[in-house]
Structure formats: C-alpha cells, structure tokens
C-alpha cells in the first residue's frame, strides 16, 4: 500500500511506496499530492530539452498577440508532470507502462498555475502470459488550482502481485 512501512530489523523501519496488483480496486480514486506550481523555468527547460521551437512557449511578445495573451505551458510537460504525480500511488511497483490512450488537453496551463492530479482505477486483469503479474488500467485527470480540468489520459500498467515485485527480491531495498 502507498506509504506503508516495513520492519527491516529490530527498531528499524523502511518506508515503502506503491501498490501491488491486489491493492487496486475498480472505482477507487487516488488523489495525488502535493500539487506543483508551474514556473517559467519549468516551462522553458522542458521546452528546450525537447527541442520544441514554438514561440508560444517562450516568447512573451509573440504570445501577447495570441488569443491567450501570454505564453502557454508546453503540453508534454503537463502530461509528464501528471504521470510523475501518479507514480507513488499507481506505478511505483510497476514492471512496465504498457501504453497510454485518449490523451486530451482540455484547458490551457500558464506559468503560475498549480497542478493537481487524480487517478481512477478503471479495471484490472491477471496477465495470461506472466504469472504473478496483472494489468491495471487507470484514467488520470489533471486540474488547475481553480478546479478546471486541464488534461486526461488512460494508462495501462503491468503490476506485480504481492511477493513478485523487484523490491520483494532485493534485500537492500
């Protein structure tokens, strides 16, 4: 379970994160916290790292002439941020991300907006080819500080059952 603690020796405990396959229940919603306030640095750095040359993301004078009147946060950053926010709750123990579908950006994000996320379990099934593992499907939704939904996407993850995660086999972990 998320944020649980396991005893690793006398009077010694180690924090653990993530969920095993058995911990996911269809219909459960995990609210991802803390949120993240997007800075100009975040937006510029991600834009530069991904070689996105559209001036809407880094040229204030260009962006002032747009319908938004200011620079937009580059949408792949929003997606990456929401995926990252969901790791502790949803994919910390994952063996693999199997895919994403239906990615939608539903409202603009600007520097200074604070992003929050939540993920809902849509379904799960045991793997037919990989004993001790299962496929979990979630939908993640991102919101701005005022409650405006900014992004949604579905994700399929391969999740180990209890006793089958890498951390279960690594003594030092």
**Per-residue pLDDT tens over the stretch 101-147:** 999 999 999 999 999 999 999 999 999 999 999 999 999 999 999 99
Spatial distance between the Cα atoms of 121 and 136, rounded to a whole number of angstroms: 7
Length of the chain: 173
Q: How confident is the model at residue 17 (pLDDT cuts 50, 70, 90)?
A: confident
Determine the pLDDT at residue 5: 62
Residue % of the chain over a pLDDT of 70: 92
The CATH class for the domain spanning 19-169 reads: alpha beta
Residue whose pair of structure tokens reads 């279960």 in the numeric block: 168
Specify the DSSP element, H or E, that contains 45: helix 40-49
What residue ranges do the domains of the chain occupy? 19-169
Q: Who contacts 4 (Cβ-Cβ below 8 Å, separation ≥6)?
A: 15, 16
- The average confidence (pLDDT) of the chain is 91
- The answer to whether the predicted template modeling score (pTM) of the entire model surpasses 0.95 is no
Q: How confident is the model at residue 4 (pLDDT cuts 50, 70, 90)?
A: low
Tell me if 20 sits within 8 A of 2, measured CB to CB.
no
Spatial distance between the Cα atoms of 109 and 126, rounded to a whole number of angstroms: 37
Q: Does position 22 have pLDDT exceeding 60, yes or no?
A: yes
Determine the pLDDT at residue 23: 92
């Amino acid at each position: 379970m998320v944020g649980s603690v396991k005893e690793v020796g006398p009077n010694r405990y180690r924090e653990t994160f993530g969920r095993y396959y058995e911990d996911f229940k269809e219909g459960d919603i995990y609210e991802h916290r803390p949120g993240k306030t997007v800075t100009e640095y975040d937006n510029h750095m991600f834009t530069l790292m991904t070689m996105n040359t559209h001036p809407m993301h880094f040229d204030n004078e260009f962006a002032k002439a747009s319908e938004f009147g200011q620079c937009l946060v580059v949408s792949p950053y929003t997606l990456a941020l929401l995926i990252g926010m969901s790791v502790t709750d949803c994919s910390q123990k994952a063996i693999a991300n199997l895919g994403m579908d239906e990615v939608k950006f539903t409202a603009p994000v600007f520097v200074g907006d604070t992003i929050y996320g939540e993920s809902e379990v849509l379904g799960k099934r045991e793997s037919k080819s990989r004993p001790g593992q299962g496929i979990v499907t979630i939908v993640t939704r991102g919101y701005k500080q005022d409650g405006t939904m900014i992004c949604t996407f579905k994700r399929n993850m391969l999740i180990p059952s209890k006793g089958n995660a890498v951390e279960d086999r690594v003594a030092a972990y």
